Structure 1
Amino acid sequence: MQVQPPLSLPLPVRDGIAPSYIWIPEGHWDNVFSFLQDHFPDVSASTWLARLDKHEVVDQHGKVLLADSAVKRGMCIYYYREIENETPIPFHEEILFQDEHLLVVDKPHFLPVIPSGRFLQETLLVRLKKNTGLMDLTPIHRLDRETAGVMLFSHNPSTRGQYQSMFQRKSMAKTYHAVARHLPELVFPLRHCSRMEEAEKFFVMREVAGMANSETLVDIKERRGEYSLYQLQPVTGRKHQLRLHMSSLGAPIVNDAFYPVALPCKADDFSAPLQLLAKSICFDDPITGAKRYFESKKSL
């Protein structure tokens, strides 16, 4: 089955959001409306009918699809995803740097980078597209929703691959700050290595026996009574690596809702952000060869 969209979008970007799409799999449906109801049970029938009536559902060739339009395997349907009553995130990003290739942003806590789940308009990517008009923006590395700090985007498709490959080769230095319990029993700086795997519980990671696939350099930047401000330098880039490594050392990052124990899902407490900050990133620009250094203006 095809999984990639056509090179050109049959619906325009709207309010900073590119249209979503789905390929029709093997199966039988009477029409487009029955297929959409079947595959998106959380979206009401009235919502789909309204989108169809507004001609906001098309195929990969841009042909408008009506409720009774036929569907068959191999078709690609485009539509605009919408979220009703999306929770606003009361924190704002700041642009640190922009050239013809890159956009560098200071991301706030709680703001997701890309649309997913219950977040659409309240995401860094959509906000930036709307505020800058750069419709080709693409994040070139990851940052958890709960984490604040330096985030890099490409907005030039012709050079994007060179920056993405730089991250894939790990040819850059990233430094994070974190607040956690002081560990008087350990000698710093130290190197923490472990084998990380997906845990049985949704979304979290765990350390298991076996050859290490994750590595973090940990040092203390400042003592704060019972706590310390730690400097973390990830050598590898596993999901939740810094959060899991600090928890494994016996010092879970302050306000971490996933480690050492994943807490029940609840509304965000904006007064208690995760005390983890992507403080800086440094690399040799793959196009100009110049040394690049970007630092967050935020502090913990």
Structure 2
Amino acid sequence: MSAAHLHHPPLPVRDGIAPSYIWLPEGQWINLISFLTSYFPDVGESIWLERMKKGEVVDQAGRLLSQDSAVKRGMCIFYYREIECETAIPFNAEILHRDEHLLVVDKPHFLPVTPGGRFLRETLLVRLKKQTGLQHLTPIHRLDRETAGVMLFSHNAATRGLYQTLFQQRVIKKIYHALAPTLPDRTFPLVHRSRMEEGGSFLVMQESEGEPNSETLVEVQANFGDLSLYRLTPLTGKKHQLRLHMTSLGAAILNDSFYPDVLPCKGDDFSAPLQLLAKSISFIDPISGDARHFSSQQELKRPDNAHRSVGGIR
């Protein structure tokens, strides 16, 4: 099936959730249920049978499938993914801007952008689809679950590529705020460059010898004794770039559970958010030619006083 077909799946978006799909790999199976239970060992047979009973398992043509349906390599199966007892995330995104092309939101800490792992409904994308009714909503850049701040979505497939190209060409200016230990022995502003590669764990990145492929401008916006508020301008867009660069400088961002060491999953503990905020995004609109600027309404908080923010000039 061509990529074009995946833009119009045979099952509709339901409660903001698009259907999942899987291409059958090489192999031999008696029927559909034998494939599904072997490929998804954590999903019981009874769950698949219930989905089929509700008409929620179909092929690429939209034909209903049953447990005895024949399957073969290259077949595409659509279904709705479900998660039992999904953790509720008690923070909401704020819509900053909406036009015929873009939706700009202010993402809270802890909320994943897209479904994955143990999160499905409790994700920014699914929530926004339900809230706005924009079923073709697509994020056009990344933001970690732990990071809060400005996030851009496209909801117009005809113009999506124009905005994605801005990120690919690195002509979008992004400013982040981070709360981290003060570095009295360093002179700011400074530019940190390094070669970043996948670490020993798929979760983290590491710096290695070789030509730099990542670059961050680091400035001090305010000083609070042992802690400082840093203004970070990434000139490249590597995974975890700001978190790794600040750690390499000797100032790991407050409450970082990956750097310098990977800590156990905090599960449902929302008491200590990563003190990293995507504060603003600026660019020249590729359609109108206008200068666009969007800023987060959030500010990072002092850990010793949750009611006192640490915005730059306060």
TM-score normalised by the chain length of structure 2: 0.94
SS, match of residue 196 in structure 2:
strand
Q: Aligned partners of 1:76 and 1:4: how far apart in 2?
A: 14
- Give the drift of 1:7: 3.9
Q: Which residue is 2:165 aligned to?
A: 165
State whether residues 2 and 23 of structure 1, in contact with CA within 8 Å, keep that contact through their aligned partners in structure 2.
Answer: no
**Corresponding position: 1:134 with 2:137:** no
Comparing 261-270 with 105-114, greater Cα deviation is found at 261-270
Q: Which residue is 1:26 aligned to?
A: 26
State whether residues 89 and 122 of structure 1, in contact with CA within 8 Å, keep that contact through their aligned partners in structure 2.
Answer: yes
Structure 1 runs of 4+ aligned residues shifted over 6 Å read 1-4
State whether residues 138 and 153 of structure 1, in contact with CA within 8 Å, keep that contact through their aligned partners in structure 2.
Answer: yes
Q: Aligned partners of 1:269 and 1:196: how far apart in 2?
A: 30
Q: Aligned partners of 1:189 and 1:135: how far apart in 2?
A: 43
Structure 2: gaps (5+ residues)? 301-314
Q: Which residue is 1:61 aligned to?
A: 61
Q: Aligned partners of 2:8 and 2:280: how far apart in 1?
A: 35
**Corresponding position: 1:150 with 2:139:** no
Equivalent positions of 1:249-264 (< 5 A) are: 249-264=249-264
State whether residues 88 and 122 of structure 2, in contact with CA within 8 Å, keep that contact through their aligned partners in structure 1.
Answer: yes
Question: Structure 2 vs 1, CA of residues 4 and 42 (structure 1 numbering), >3 Å: closer, same or farther?
Answer: farther
Q: Aligned partners of 2:197 and 2:7: how far apart in 1?
A: 35
State whether residues 217 and 232 of structure 1, in contact with CA within 8 Å, keep that contact through their aligned partners in structure 2.
Answer: yes
After superposition, the C-alpha distances for 1:224-270 in whole angstroms (9 at most, x for unaligned) are 12100000000000000000000000000000000001112231421
SS, match of residue 117 in structure 1:
coil
Equivalent positions of 1:1-300 (< 5 A) are: 6-300=6-300
- Give the drift of 1:219: 0.3
Q: Aligned partners of 1:27 and 1:86: how far apart in 2?
A: 33
Q: Which letter maps to 1:133?
A: G
Aligned-CA RMSD value:
1.2
Q: Which letter maps to 2:161?
A: G
After superposition, the C-alpha distances for 1:149-179 in whole angstroms (9 at most, x for unaligned) are 0000000011000000111001111000000
After superposition, the C-alpha distances for 1:13-72 in whole angstroms (9 at most, x for unaligned) are 001011000011111111111110011011111111110111110000000000111101
Q: Which residue is 2:303 aligned to?
A: none
SS, match of residue 280 in structure 1:
strand
After superposition, the C-alpha distances for 1:180-216 in whole angstroms (9 at most, x for unaligned) are 0000000000000000000012310000010000000
After superposition, the C-alpha distances for 1:99-151 in whole angstroms (9 at most, x for unaligned) are 00000000000000000000000000000000000001000000000000000
Q: Aligned partners of 2:261 and 2:3: how far apart in 1?
A: 36
Q: Aligned partners of 1:288 and 1:266: how far apart in 2?
A: 44
SS, match of residue 180 in structure 2:
strand
Structure 1: gaps (5+ residues)? none
Q: Aligned partners of 2:8 and 2:140: how far apart in 1?
A: 21
Comparing 242-251 with 48-57, greater Cα deviation is found at 48-57
State whether residues 177 and 279 of structure 2, in contact with CA within 8 Å, keep that contact through their aligned partners in structure 1.
Answer: yes
Comparing 39-48 with 87-96, greater Cα deviation is found at 39-48
Q: Which letter maps to 1:69?
A: S
Q: Aligned partners of 1:102 and 1:91: how far apart in 2?
A: 22
Q: Aligned partners of 2:3 and 2:204: how far apart in 1?
A: 27
Q: Aligned partners of 2:109 and 2:267: how far apart in 1?
A: 14
- Give the drift of 1:5: 5.2
Q: Aligned partners of 1:192 and 1:4: how far apart in 2?
A: 42
Q: Which letter maps to 1:125?
A: L
Q: Aligned partners of 2:122 and 2:6: how far apart in 1?
A: 26
Q: Aligned partners of 1:48 and 1:197: how far apart in 2?
A: 40
- Give the drift of 1:74: 1.3
Q: Which letter maps to 1:240?
A: H
